[in-house]
Structure 1
Amino acid sequence: MSTAAPGWYAEPDNPAMLRWFDGVQWTEHRQPAMVGGPFPPARPSRSPAATVLLVVGCVVAAVVAVGVLAAIAIPVFLNERHKAAVDDLRSLSCAEVGAEAVTFSRQNVKPDEIPLAAADAMVLVTDARAALRLPQTGEVLVMRCSGTATWADQTTTALQVDLYTNSAGDHLYALDWRE
């Protein structure tokens, strides 16, 4: 007499098939065996410590990735900014330097001074543009132009405009005139 409970059991001759045992005898009912059963195996759950480690690891990886990108991007950005500033300074003409000097004079005139109204016939006297590099500190001469100044009171004088730049690529002017 059998003590096996009724149910599906693997066939000894063909483990890919299941056969029904009714508790007394084997029946002719067969079906394919499912590997792992009808449901996928349950994933073991993570412990809270493992979850915390996973999150911390992801955060550290993200910070490292941002740091690497910044280490690459910042020097490239600064170099491009440097090149753009130098290219801007190299492309200036003395006529443009004179026009900027007029604007500079109007914006920086003291109450007891007469602003520059026009800078005409500006010609290049000193040119340091070919070897120009933005300085780490201080200022460096870019070019010197001379011409004729017309002041707001309609007087005219000889004019010399020195264009300097600093590490940021700013245009800085020094004006010198003789009556």
Structure 2
Amino acid sequence: MFYIAVLCSPEIDKKIQAYKLWMRDRFGCTVALKSSAHVTLIPPFWLLNEKEQLMINTIHSFQTKIPPFNIHLQQFSHFSNRVIFAAVEENHQLGSLRKAVEDHFIQPFHDEIKPDDRPFHPHVTIANRDIKPGDFNKAWDHFKRQPFDEQFEVNSISLLKLTPGKWNVIAEQRF
């Protein structure tokens, strides 16, 4: 499995990691610990091993006229009672980057990557999928009171691959 994302700065990754560890220690949530802090541009997809080099070449050929820009993370939010995340302030450049990335990858990987018809709701996940329904309210009660206000510059996209137990960056393209 692979996905394409914008990685948060190392400083923000460290802060997000602390929240993920808090969720692990109190509620046993470990799924989000497999990834560095990021904003997903193309969600996870399967790819045959023999197409991996083509995928790497494709990410290295990505170009855009979008200049580097800042992402502002402000406060925490959630999707129903299954996902807690740091919220991304509305950002048109990020939406444009997502569209450019999707357009670049769908042509050569039309069997693996499909256009996402859902509205783009960028976020940085703290906990997902493994929050027990009975624990969500306790966890959310903690996060809704936590201040969070961070910014980082976006000047690259990354390709991540799932290896046993961890998502690893295998290619990056600056713009």
TM-score (norm 1): 0.22
Instruction: Tell which has more relative contact order, 1 or 2 (C-alpha 8 A, sep 6+).
Output: 2
Query: Which is higher, the Rg of structure 1 or of structure 2?
Result: 1
TM-score (norm 2): 0.23
